[in-house]
Structure 1
C-alpha cells in the first residue's frame, strides 16, 4: 500500500510534467478501464490457480513494471506513452491482484479472527495514506519522478518476499498444495483447470452469489453505499471546500477528520476482534453514515465539517469492516476470489462513475440537494441491511 501511494503520486507528477493537465488526467484514469473490465475474470483466476501464486506473481509484475519506468525516466524523457502503458498494466494487474488478496484471509487465519484482519487492513490503509504521500513527495524533491518511481518499486519489492513467507493452509478437497508439489503434478492440475472453462467458473460464481441469502443482498447494500459515498467524499468535498472558502487546507482538515475516525474504528476492531449482531450493526452504521453525509453538505463552518467528517469516518469504517468480515465468513473459501471481485468491481469500477455526475449535478443544483440525494442512496444501503432478515441477523464466528 505504501508503494501504491508513492506510485500514484509519482505517476501524477510525471504526467503533469510531460503533458497538459487534460493529458495528465487521461493518464491517471487509464488504469480504471482494465480494472473494471477484467475484475470478474481476476476473481476466476484467483479461485482457479490459488490466491497465493496469483498474489505473488502479480505483485512481482507490478514491481518490475514500476522499476522499468523508473530506469527509463532516469535515462531519457520518454513522454506520456510509457506512463500510459504503465497505468494500463497496473490496472490490468490490479484486476487480478485485488480478488486474490481478498481470498487470502480464509487461508491464513481462523474464521473467528477475520474481523481483526479487517481492522488491521484498515489500519494499514490509513497508515499508508498518511505516510505514502510525504514519501512520494520526498522522492520527487530528491530526484524527480524517476526517484519516486524507484522508491515505489523498492517498496513493492519488499512486499514480494513478505508475501512468499506467509504460511497458508489448503482448502478441503485440494489435491495439490501451492508449494512442495513436483512440476508434473502442478502442470497436470493447471491443465485440468483450464479445460474446465473459465466462463463456466464465472457463471458459477455469479450464480453462487445470486442464490446466497446473505451475499446477494450484501452486494446490493455495498453497491448503494459506495455509489452514495464516493461522489460527496471526493469531487463533492473539493467543491464544498472551494465554495465555503475553506481552501485546500480546510479540505485537508476535513479529510484528516475522516481518516482519524476510520483509523479509530480499525484500531477498535483490531483489539476487540468481534462485534455481535454484525449485520444489524453494519445496517445501523450505514444508515447513520447516510445522515452524516447529508449533514456535511449543509455545514457552513470548518470545525462543524471536521466533526461531521470524523463521524463519517467512524460509521463508514465500521460498516466497511463489517461488510468485509461478512464477505469473508459467509462466502465459501473456494468462491472467495469471485466474491471479492464482484465487491471490488462495485467499489472500484461502478462507484467512481458517479463522480462526474455528482460534479455536474452540483453545478446545476448546488451542494445541498446533491449531498441529500447522495445521502438517500447511502441510506438505501442501510435499508437493505435492515429489510433482509438473513443479512440483518448475520453473525460473525465467535
Structure 2
C-alpha cells in the first residue's frame, strides 16, 4: 500500500506534465487536426516535384509549377485577412481545408491514370495556393480564440510551431518513401485525407470567432484601410515586419540558393545539405520544447535576440567551416526560429484587437515574404559577380546589424505582456490584458 501511495504522485505528475493548453477541448481538437494536415502538406511538394519530373518536365517546368503555388498565396493573403475578419476565421479556414482536400484529391486521381499535363498541374497547385493564402491570416486570428487563459497563449503557439517543425522533418522523408513505392499520386491522396481531418477538427470546434463590427456592411477598400491603419500605427509591428522582409531578401533566400551550391562544391553534396536542413528542423523542435511553459517578461526583446542565430549558417558557409560546424550553426538557427516564432505570434495575438487581427496578420505576412522571391532570383546572378562567400557573409553581417537596430526600438526592447498598445515597460499591477486576449474565447 505504501508503494502505491508513493506511485500516485508520480502518476499525477505525468498526467499534468503536458502543457495546460492541451486541457482546453477546442485547442486540443484543432491541434490534432492542424498537425495532421501539416504532415500531409509537407509531403505534397515532394510528390508534385516528382509528378512534374516523371511526366517529362525539367527544371523550367518544375519552376513554373512551384511558382504557380506561391504566387496566389502572396496575391490573396490580404484579401483573405479581410474575409476572415468579416466572416469569422473558423468558417474561412474550414472552407480552405475543404477546397484543398478537393484539389489534392483531384490531383491524385489524375496521376493515378498516368501523367497529367504541366498546365493542368500548375492550375491545380494555383488553387491549392489560393486556399493557403486564405487560411494563413485566419489561422492567426483563430488561435487566441481557442485559448481561454491568456498565459497559455505562448504554449499554444509553441505547440503549433512544434507541429510545423516536426512535419518539415518527417514529411519529406515519408513522401520520398511513399513516392518511390507507390508513386506521387499516393502522397497527394494522403494529403487530401489529412486536409479532411483538419476540416473535421475545425467543424467540431465549439468556439466561434465572430465577424468584425459591421460584418459585411463596409466596403472592401474601407476594411483594407482600417487593417492597414491598425498595422502601421504599431511601431513594434512594422519594424519587426521590415526586419523579416529584409531577412528573407538578404539572408534566407541567398542561403537557400547558395547553400546547396556550397554543399555541392565543398561539403559533400546533397547528402550534406540534407543533413544541414534536417538539423535545422531538429533545432526548431528543441527550441519549441524549450519554450513550453515559459513566458519571458519582455517577449519581443527575447524574440529579437533569438534572430541573431539566423546569421550563423550563412556565416559558417561563408567562412568555409567543416560540415559539423555548419550543422551546429543550423541547429542554433532552428532553435532561434522556434523561439522567435512562438513569441512573435503570441504578442501579435495578444496586442492586436480581435476584430482586425486577421487583416493585421495578413499585412504582416505579406510584408515579411513579398521580397523573398526577389532574393531567390537575384542570389545566383549576384554570386556570379561578387562571389558566393561575399553574398553569404553580407547576409550574416546584415542579420546582426538588423537585430541590433530592432532592439534599439523602445517598444521592442522594453514592452511587457500587460503593457497597453503603444506603451513600453512594466504594466501596472492589475492591468487589463490586451483587447485580443481579453475577448478571446
Q: After superposing the two structures, state which structure 1 stretch, 24-33 or 76-85, moved more.
A: 76-85
| Residue in 1 that maps onto 2:195 | 156
- Could you tell me how far apart the structure 1 residues matched to 2:189 and 2:337 are? 34
The answer as to whether partners of 1:227 and 1:378 remain within 8 angstroms in 2 is no
- Could you tell me how far apart the structure 1 residues matched to 2:313 and 2:46 are? 30
Cα distance, 1:381–1:343 mapped onto 2, change above 3 Å: farther
- Could you tell me how far apart the structure 1 residues matched to 2:178 and 2:186 are? 5
Is 2:119 the counterpart of 1:54? Answer: no
What SS does the corresponding residue of 1:19 show, helix, strand or coil?
coil
What SS does the corresponding residue of 1:196 show, helix, strand or coil?
coil
| Residue in 1 that maps onto 2:264 | 242
| Residue in 2 that maps onto 1:16 | 53
- Could you tell me how far apart the structure 1 residues matched to 2:316 and 2:111 are? 46
| Residue in 2 that maps onto 1:257 | 279
Q: How far apart are residue 389 of structure 1 and its match? A: 0.6
The answer as to whether partners of 1:225 and 1:286 remain within 8 angstroms in 2 is no
Cα distance, 1:396–1:263 mapped onto 2, change above 3 Å: farther
| Residue in 1 that maps onto 2:3 | none
Cα distance, 1:160–1:277 mapped onto 2, change above 3 Å: same
Normalised TM-score (structure 2): 0.81
| Residue in 1 that maps onto 2:318 | 297
The answer as to whether partners of 1:99 and 1:340 remain within 8 angstroms in 2 is yes
Structure 1 unaligned regions, length at least 5: 176-191
Is 2:180 the counterpart of 1:138? Answer: no
What SS does the corresponding residue of 2:297 show, helix, strand or coil?
coil
The answer as to whether partners of 2:82 and 2:223 remain within 8 angstroms in 1 is yes
Q: 1:341 aligns with which of 362, 365, 372?
A: 362
- Could you tell me how far apart the structure 1 residues matched to 2:276 and 2:94 are? 36
Is 2:96 the counterpart of 1:96? Answer: no
Q: How far apart are residue 125 of structure 1 and its match? A: 1.0
Normalised TM-score (structure 1): 0.89
| Residue in 1 that maps onto 2:161 | 122
| Residue in 2 that maps onto 1:37 | 75
Q: After superposing the two structures, state which structure 1 stretch, 379-388 or 40-49, moved more.
A: 379-388
Counterparts of 1:100-111 in structure 2, within 5 Å, are: 100-109=138-147, 110-111=149-150
Cα distance, 1:255–1:269 mapped onto 2, change above 3 Å: same
Q: Deviations over 1:183-228 (max 9, x none)?
A: xxxxxxxxx6334111110111011111124322222223233333
Cα distance, 1:161–1:352 mapped onto 2, change above 3 Å: same
- Determine which structure has greater relative contact order: mean sequence separation of CA pairs < 8 Å that are 6+ residues apart, divided by chain length: 1
The answer as to whether partners of 1:32 and 1:349 remain within 8 angstroms in 2 is no
Q: Deviations over 1:76-98 (max 9, x none)?
A: 43321221111110111111111
Q: Deviations over 1:140-171 (max 9, x none)?
A: 23331222211111122111111222332546
Q: How far apart are residue 301 of structure 1 and its match? A: 1.0
Structure 1 vs Structure 2 CA RMSD: 2.1
The answer as to whether partners of 1:220 and 1:384 remain within 8 angstroms in 2 is no
| Residue in 2 that maps onto 1:4 | 41
What SS does the corresponding residue of 2:364 show, helix, strand or coil?
helix
Q: 1:313 aligns with which of 320, 325, 334?
A: 334
The answer as to whether partners of 1:244 and 1:300 remain within 8 angstroms in 2 is no
- Could you tell me how far apart the structure 2 residues matched to 1:284 and 1:97 are? 29
- Could you tell me how far apart the structure 2 residues matched to 1:290 and 1:303 are? 17
The answer as to whether partners of 2:161 and 2:341 remain within 8 angstroms in 1 is no
The answer as to whether partners of 1:225 and 1:379 remain within 8 angstroms in 2 is no
| Residue in 2 that maps onto 1:364 | 385
Q: 1:282 aligns with which of 286, 303, 306?
A: 303
The answer as to whether partners of 1:241 and 1:251 remain within 8 angstroms in 2 is yes
Q: After superposing the two structures, state which structure 1 stretch, 308-317 or 257-266, moved more.
A: 308-317
- Could you tell me how far apart the structure 2 residues matched to 1:174 and 1:153 are? 31
Q: How far apart are residue 328 of structure 1 and its match? A: 1.5
The answer as to whether partners of 1:277 and 1:395 remain within 8 angstroms in 2 is yes
